[in-house]
């Protein structure tokens, strides 16, 4: 089942996939964009220090169309990325290069609708890396929003008693866990696909310490995971479980 990952950078809305008032338009406010004004070490060590942003999907996904809305604040249009290199990886260490692409400059108008940049045609990755190579003349580099069409990979059974008579197509737990990275103590999960059995979710830290356990979630339900809990900066794992399948999502708290 294909679905869309949609992110407004730095100012991520709490409702997944409903980041714009009109389906393909983007507003002109300055805070609805990611801007980097200082080059830092790139996760892809074959690239020099640069302006970059990396997405962690939490699990491997098949990737398809990528749409980009460039910076659209009228006084920051020159900071919009012009040329970008796109890399993807399954482990965050070894990177495959898609190649260089061009982002059209924002118009500064509320009717700006962004562009379809590329199609990965089903390439599999857990991480997506966008590195700025040039901009439209400004001192910084960034863009406002990206939408990526993805297709989940089916998870394998965790219960060895599951027989071959069970179709592998039914072994699927697919969710959106967002925002990632998490800046404030707000974390949401939407269950998009489930197996025939009910699904519960757990939250653990990087050491395996259980913070939230066996909390039920219904199909197409969006819930706030933390509900007032505060997390220290670090890496956390959201695990969704049914009787015979599981899916894990790594979350970073900044």
What is the model's pLDDT at position 175? Answer: 86
In the structure encoding, which two tokens stand for residue 44, read together? 């892809």
Q: Which two tokens stand for residue 196?
A: 């025939």
Distance in angstroms (rounded) separating the CA atoms of residues 117 and 64: 11
- Given pLDDT bands bounded at 50, 70 and 90, which one contains residue 38? very high
pLDDT computed for residue 165 by the predictor: 34
Query: In the chain, which segments carry CATH 2.60.40.10?
Result: 168-253
- Using one digit for the tens of pLDDT, what is the confidence trace for 74-123? 999 999 999 999 999 998 999 999 999 999 999 999 889 889 999 998 89
Answering whether pTM is above 0.85, one says no
> How does the average pLDDT of the chain come out, rounded?
79
Compare 156 and 48 and report the one with higher pLDDT.
Answer: 48
- pLDDT-derived band at 162 (thresholds 50, 70, 90) equals very low
Query: Which CATH code fits 168-253?
Result: 2.60.40.10
Please tell me what DSSP assigns to residue 182: B
Q: What DSSP line would sit under 19-77, residue for residue?
A: --SSTT-----TTSSEEE-S-B--SSTTS-SB-EEEEEEEEEEEEEEEEEE----GGGG
Q: Which pLDDT score, from 0 to 100, does residue 85 have? A: 97
Joined tokens for residue 57: 């999907």
Cβ contact 128:57 at 8 Å? yes
Task: Give the C-alpha separation, 135 to 103, whole Å.
Answer: 9
For the domain 2-152, what is the CATH code? 2.60.120.260
Taken as a whole, the chain contains a residue count of 254
Lowest mean pLDDT among 43-57, 162-176, 214-228: 162-176
């Amino acid at each position: 089942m294909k679905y869309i990952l949609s992110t407004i950078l730095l100012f991520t809305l709490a409702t997944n996939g409903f980041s714009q008032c009109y389906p393909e338009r983007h507003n002109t406010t300055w805070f609805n964009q990611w801007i980097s004004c200082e080059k830092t070490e790139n996760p892809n060590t074959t690239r020099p220090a640069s302006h970059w942003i990396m997405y962690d999907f939490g699990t491997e996904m098949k990737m398809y169309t990528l749409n980009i809305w460039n910076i659209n604040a009228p006084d920051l249009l020159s900071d919009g990325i012009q040329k970008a290199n796109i890399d993807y990886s399954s482990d965050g260490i070894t990177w495959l290069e898609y190649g260089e692409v061009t982002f059209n400059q924002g118009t500064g108008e509320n009717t700006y609708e962004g562009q379809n940049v590329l199609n990965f045609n089903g390439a599999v990755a857990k991480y997506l890396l966008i590195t700025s190579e040039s901009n439209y003349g400004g001192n910084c580099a960034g863009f406002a929003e990206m939408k990526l069409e993805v297709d989940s990979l089916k998870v394998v059974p965790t219960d060895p008693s599951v027989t071959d008579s069970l179709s592998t197509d039914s072994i699927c737990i697919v969710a959106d866990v967002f925002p990632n990275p998490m800046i404030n103590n707000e974390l949401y999960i939407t269950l998009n696909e489930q197996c025939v059995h009910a699904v519960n979710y757990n939250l653990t830290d990087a050491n395996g310490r259980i913070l939230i356990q066996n909390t039920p979630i219904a199909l197409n339900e969006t819930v706030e995971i933390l509900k007032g809990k505060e997390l220290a900066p670090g890496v956390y794992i959201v695990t969704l479980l049914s009787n015979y399948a599981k899916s894990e999502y790594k979350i970073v708290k900044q």
